[in-house]
Chains A and B, each alone.
Chain A
Amino acid sequence: MTMVEMRSVRPMVETHRVYRVDRRIPEGNAGVTLDLVDERAGPPMGIQPGQFVMVWLPRIEERPFSVVDVDVDGDGRHTLTLTIAAIGPFTEALCALRPGDRLWIRGPYGSGYTLIGERHLLIGGGSGTASLYLLARSAAELGHTLTVVLGARSASQLMLVERFRALSGDGPVAGHPQVAVELATDDGSAGFYGTALGAAQAVVDSPTFGSCDSVYACGPEVMLRAVCAAAAEHGVPCQVSLERAMKCGLGVCGACHCGDRLICYDGPVFACDVVTALWEQEAD
């Protein structure tokens, strides 16, 4: 019967894996970055930049978070990095975790970013910044040129700035890739004075935009819409990562739909032409 019965595409089981907080780095007063160590030293997660995991705190909740970074040490033990913006009960519970505390993770899920060309523009608003770091690191490791725009309400709300900056110095990537990090704040307390949307537009209008091969963005949807529109206008390929409330994370329940796509299964990263059509479907 094997002739007519193909086997499935997805792994059979997706149970939670237990991680322990190894390091807790405050991100201004916006939240924290957590380095998590896999307790059982299991095989590292194979993660594409832009993919996400479901994080479960027993008896509390389970929610989606982008994988910021993943590192494997000499013993095969891997460290997973997440960056959490405290905006409600669950993210506050995550921010309250201390080194040694445990948390439960399943995934990774979804489809990530695809690097196009060698000169990239990355635009992150708020916690959307988290979705872009692994992409930036991958591009830097390939020796590509990057401009990263990070936006937030105020200086104290900016996330992962030093981590992105380190990519161009003596950070995790050998050599000195060209990584320019630009900041924008709604209140002007750091970098460009204006909303993430305004900052994106300023970058979009700058020569950087026209000269880049591809744009990647994650953040508030109003910002993503503006980025998509500008990219289309300049004929630059663009990918954005969408967020929707999630239940299963498995492409089953339909909670995270946008038009005829599921953010957890088909996304969260979509090409701009796809996402523009989805927004139109949603508006109907």
Chain B
Amino acid sequence: MIDLAVELCGVRLRNPLVLASGIWGSNAGMLVRAARDGAGAVTAKSCSLDARIGHPNPTVLAWEGGLINAVGLSNPGAAAQAEMLMQAKRELSEFGVALIASVFGDTPEGFAAAVQHIVAAEPDLIELNVSCPNVESEFGRPFAFDPDATAEATRGVRQIWGGPLLVKLSPNAPNLVDVARAAVDTGADGLTAVNTLGPGMIIDVHAGCPVLSNRVGGVSGQALLPIAVRCVYELAAAVDVPIIGTGGVSRGSDAMQMIMAGATAVGLGSALYREGSTVFGRIADELVALMEMEGYADLSFRGCAHRMPCRESR
């Protein structure tokens, strides 16, 4: 019997597959559905202290390489979010599935102020979204481009939240490892890598204008996979904390790549576009089949891609 269980920052997950933030929102019903269909943990949509409507439509498009989105971090505000997460947490605990709350702010104080509300919901982990590329025009460069800014946000939250803390990084940061070190040094227990890439743009040639109302949006899905795998690989080599490897995973072999690069858990976002939350069961099955094929009984092959030679040929 193959064992998919993992421990993420002290939290036990029945399998490594995690619903990524922003997919399916924060409503208890949707998060529980992902849990019922096989997620090991679920991440709620990022919330800020104050409510945000987000950008007008079009906000999400499907293209050959995956999705591009500029939802614009719409959320009901941290107080209302905490209420939703309380209900979600209650229902999720029946499934033994962990709840990850996601928080963002426009200033380090903004992060802490939002977390102050979210703490009431007692999520299993809190993830700091310092890396959204869709609100740059509004908020300026993401925190995740700057080790000092990331450190400041992490430090502020660390003072008010004693539970497991993740910091979600950007694949665009040229100094990814420096940003990660800054997060870990100021109290992050783990990292989520990565948020969407870009921003990118899709122009409708008949309309002669960008399709997204925000003009630009974050690129996710298949196109992101090799970049995300490389980010996870670099991070795993540099810092000694668990990583949720997220970006472009849509098959068991994609998840296995993430784990071999050093990820403890694997995030799924755009993959739900194709098939809803049944994707969790499918990817778990594919992962198990691959592990059987390769003779692995559990996920202890994590990080094997860092060893030279990678693995013995049998």
Closest CB of chain B to A133's CB: distance in Å? Answer: 25
Can you name the residue of chain B whose Cβ is closest to the Cβ of A40?
B206
A262 to B60, alpha carbons, bound, how many Å?
A: 16
- Could you say which residues of chain B place their CB within 8 Å of the CB of A102? 206
User: Which of A9, A10, A254, A262 gathers most chain B CB within 10 Å?
Assistant: A254
Is B1 an interface residue when CB atoms closer than 8 A count as contact? Answer: no
User: B275 contacts A56, CB within 8 Å?
Assistant: no
Q: Are A257 and B206 CB-contacts (below 8 A) given A1-B253, A10-B274, A247-B71?
A: no
User: A4 contacts B60, CB within 8 Å?
Assistant: no
Of B27, B87, B276, which contacts A251 at CB under 8 A?
A: B276
| Proximity string of chain B (27-70) to chain A, C-beta cutoff 8 Å, 1 when within and 0 when not | 10110110000000000010000000010111111111001010
A58-66, A166-174, A220-228: which lies at the B interface? A58-66
- Could you say which residues of chain A place their CB within 8 Å of the CB of B206? 18, 39, 102, 104
| Proximity string of chain B (205-244) to chain A, C-beta cutoff 8 Å, 1 when within and 0 when not | 0111101010000000000000000000000000000000
Is A115 an interface residue when CB atoms closer than 8 A count as contact? Answer: no
Is A16 an interface residue when CB atoms closer than 8 A count as contact? Answer: yes
- Could you say which residues of chain B place their CB within 8 Å of the CB of A9? 274-275
User: A247 contacts B251, CB within 8 Å?
Assistant: no
**Residues from 265 to 281 in B contacting A, C-beta threshold 8 Å:** 270, 272-276
User: A6 contacts B211, CB within 8 Å?
Assistant: no
- How many A-B residue pairs have C-beta atoms within 8 angstroms? Tell me: 119
Q: Are A4 and B286 CB-contacts (below 8 A) given A16-B204, A250-B60, A253-B60?
A: yes
- Could you say which residues of chain B place their CB within 8 Å of the CB of A252? 23-24, 60, 67, 69, 270, 272-273
Is B147 an interface residue when CB atoms closer than 8 A count as contact? Answer: no
User: Which of B54, B207, B251, B290 gathers most chain A CB within 10 Å?
Assistant: B207
In this complex, how many residues of chain A approach chain B with their Cβ under 8 Å: the count is 43
Is A281 an interface residue when CB atoms closer than 8 A count as contact? Answer: yes
User: B204 contacts A58, CB within 8 Å?
Assistant: yes
Closest CB of chain B to A209's CB: distance in Å? Answer: 32
A101 to B219, alpha carbons, bound, how many Å?
A: 32
Can you name the residue of chain A whose Cβ is closest to the Cβ of B22?
A253
Q: Are A56 and B58 CB-contacts (below 8 A) given A5-B252, A8-B274?
A: yes
- Could you say which residues of chain B place their CB within 8 Å of the CB of A4? 252, 285-286, 289-290, 293
- Could you say which residues of chain A place their CB within 8 Å of the CB of B62? 12-15, 250
Is A177 an interface residue when CB atoms closer than 8 A count as contact? Answer: no
User: A15 contacts B63, CB within 8 Å?
Assistant: yes
Can you name the residue of chain B whose Cβ is closest to the Cβ of A260?
B29
Of B33, B58, B74, B274, which contacts A62 at CB under 8 A?
A: B58
Closest CB of chain B to A39's CB: distance in Å? Answer: 8
- Could you say which residues of chain A place their CB within 8 Å of the CB of B33? 260
Is A248 an interface residue when CB atoms closer than 8 A count as contact? Answer: yes
Of A39, A61, A265, which contacts B56 at CB under 8 A?
A: A61
User: B25 contacts A254, CB within 8 Å?
Assistant: yes
Q: Are A250 and B290 CB-contacts (below 8 A) given A5-B253, A62-B57, A104-B206?
A: no
Of B32, B74, B208, B275, which contacts A8 at CB under 8 A?
A: B275
User: B64 contacts A13, CB within 8 Å?
Assistant: yes
Can you name the residue of chain A whose Cβ is closest to the Cβ of B24?
A254
- Could you say which residues of chain A place their CB within 8 Å of the CB of B285? 4
- Could you say which residues of chain A place their CB within 8 Å of the CB of B302? none
Q: Are A104 and B207 CB-contacts (below 8 A) given A6-B282, A260-B33?
A: yes
A9 to B252, alpha carbons, bound, how many Å?
A: 16
User: B211 contacts A16, CB within 8 Å?
Assistant: yes
Give 22 pairs: A residue, B residue, CB < 8 Å, sorted on A: A13-B63, A13-B64, A58-B207, A58-B208, A58-B209, A58-B211, A61-B56, A61-B57, A63-B57, A250-B62, A250-B67, A250-B273, A251-B272, A252-B60, A253-B25, A253-B59, A255-B25, A260-B29, A260-B30, A262-B24, A265-B276, A281-B29
Q: Which 9 A-B pairs have the closest CB atoms?
A: A254-B25, A260-B29, A248-B60, A62-B57, A58-B207, A4-B289, A8-B274, A254-B24, A260-B33
- Starting from the known contacts A58-B207, A253-B23, 19 additional A-B residue pairs (CB-CB under 8 Å) come to A4-B285, A4-B290, A4-B293, A5-B253, A10-B275, A12-B62, A56-B58, A58-B208, A58-B209, A247-B74, A248-B59, A248-B71, A249-B60, A250-B62, A252-B23, A252-B60, A253-B59, A254-B45, A257-B25
